[in-house]
Amino acid sequence: MPLNAQIDLMSETPKIYCSDAVEWRVSDTLEAYPDAASYMERRAKAIAANEAAEQIWLLEHPPLYSAGTSAKAADLVEPDRFDVFETGRGGQYTYHGPGQRVGYVMLDLRKRGRDVAAFVRGLEQWIIDTLAEFDVTAERRCGRVGVWVIMPGGGEAKIAAIGVRLKKWVSFHGISINLNPDLSHFGGIVPCGIQEHGVTSLQDLGKNVSMEDLDKALKSNFEKTFAPTQ
């Protein structure tokens, strides 16, 4: 089924697109974090059992903080500001909320090399290629997972975060790209445990990009890094 083919399901069900073996799910409403986490667990288990296709799920969450396996209590600066969820993904504290595109990446690494470091680099490259379509030069940083940009006034800031978990070589959780979230909401945490650098967004960089534009770029760049499996 071609990438832009849509399967019409119940009206409250997210849109589903298929690209070869990888299915794309797109939610148009805010998804509760516990429900999303439960869904990813079930889907990853089904993929590992060869009972479901790989899937990329694009969505937004209500404002919340999530804690990865390396999160430090001191980095939760305002614990009562938003709901806080413990997760099994890698990384530290991060913020999710409206205006941020979250991409949950449920891929079978048994078919993709069984190399976790290469997988994370692939996620970074996917984001870098996607942002390049909007004339944003994004970069990796040694020792800092995620994607960074040099700010117009100097210094650098994080525009996208990465945190993944694997079970039986199937990934879940994934990436988040700041399109136009309320950046002040990051003030309740030390994002990813890094105090010396801030966060930014496409809007903060003066880019007038819609969520639909961003989704289109994510889809078109995905297979540059993650080729279809046989």
Compute the distance between CA of residue 110 and CA of residue 100 in angstroms, rounded to an integer: 30
204 near 183, Cβ under 8 Å?
yes
Q: Which of 128, 161, 164, 192 is flagged as catalytic? A: 192
112 near 229, Cβ under 8 Å?
yes
Largest separation between any pair of C-alpha atoms in the chain? 50
223 near 19, Cβ under 8 Å?
yes
Is 192 designated active site? yes
Give the closest residue to 81 by CA, choosing from 183, 181, 184, 188.
Answer: 188
Annotated catalytic residues are 192
